[in-house]
Amino acid sequence: QIDYTGTEPFSPCNKCLNVSWDSTPPCTCTINFTLDHSFESNVFMYYGLSNFYQNHRRYVKSRDDSQLNGDNSSLLNPSKECEPYRTNKDKPIAPCGAIANSMFNDTLELYRIDNNTKIPITLIKKGIAWWTDKNVKFRNPTGDGNNLTALFQGTTKPINWPKPVYMLDTEPDNNGFINEDFIVWMRTAALPTFRKLYRLIERKDSLQPTLQAGRYSLEIAYNYPVHSFDGRKRMILSTISWMGGKNPFLGIAYITVGSICFFLGVVLLIIHHRYGNRNTSADIPN
């Protein structure tokens, strides 16, 4: 994990701490780090946020699923649940709501340093969203042709976004409401400290590790402000084994629930043995 919030005075990202959503040009910073061990299989690159409450009731409800599913009438007349991010300057916002308005927009690039030469690591931006989200829940509006600019005509971008939703990517199958970075963000987290999948690093050579042990550089276009609510940002590199990825939450939850069930079982067993032999007959003794 690499924390790049920049609250520490010696951090390379300290100069970007008070950045705003629409800073032009964006503040950039570079953090160098070392991998002590090679990552052999496919690597998953996450961004993590702390003290960010995506589980707030009004925040979770602040979206229009019909609009996100490509319904043309909802595109121009969003749900009132999106207030106060429903319209801007008398134009409907697409996508509307607080979730979309607060979308994570830092740009992370990874380089391997070999003999003082920076070698870029290929980061794959497709395949990071759930298949059901990409192909069922999120759809672009329909109409004549596939010109997203025309399909989104009459709408405006969310207030905090630097560009409209139809300019999130240059590839048509990853643009608009079906942009995978956007889809990943819209699946809200249950806890205030969470991480979301950002990119994939695929293993290309079976004889070489995906990420060799050595020196690396993380270059950040710092756009996402978190200092105002004492939040923190981090980049996480993780890999999987034959047992899957590392996620301690389920293990902790199972152990906790199992321990509670075991304790209650022991208590009920003691109660049964102590009080379970009482005479339950309805006959009145002489």
Structure token digits, residue 266: 């022991």
pTM beyond cutoff 0.85: no
Question: 17 falls in which pLDDT band (50, 70, 90)?
Answer: confident
CB 216 within 8 A of CB 114: no
pLDDT tens, 31-86? 999 999 999 889 999 999 999 999 999 999 999 999 999 999 999 999 999 999 99
3-class DSSP assignment, residue 72: helix
Query: Which residue type sits at 233?
Result: K
Report the alpha-carbon distance of residue 253 to residue 246 in Å, rounded: 14
* Measured CA distances, 36 to 116, 128, 215 (Å): 18, 26, 9
Pairwise CA distance, residues 206 & 216, whole Å: 21
Going by C-alpha positions, the residue among 117, 128, 112 that lies closest to residue 208 is 112
pLDDT tens string 179-197: 999 999 999 999 999 999 9
Q: Which residues contact 216 (CB under 8 A, 6 or more apart)?
A: 32, 33, 34, 35, 110, 111, 112, 113, 121
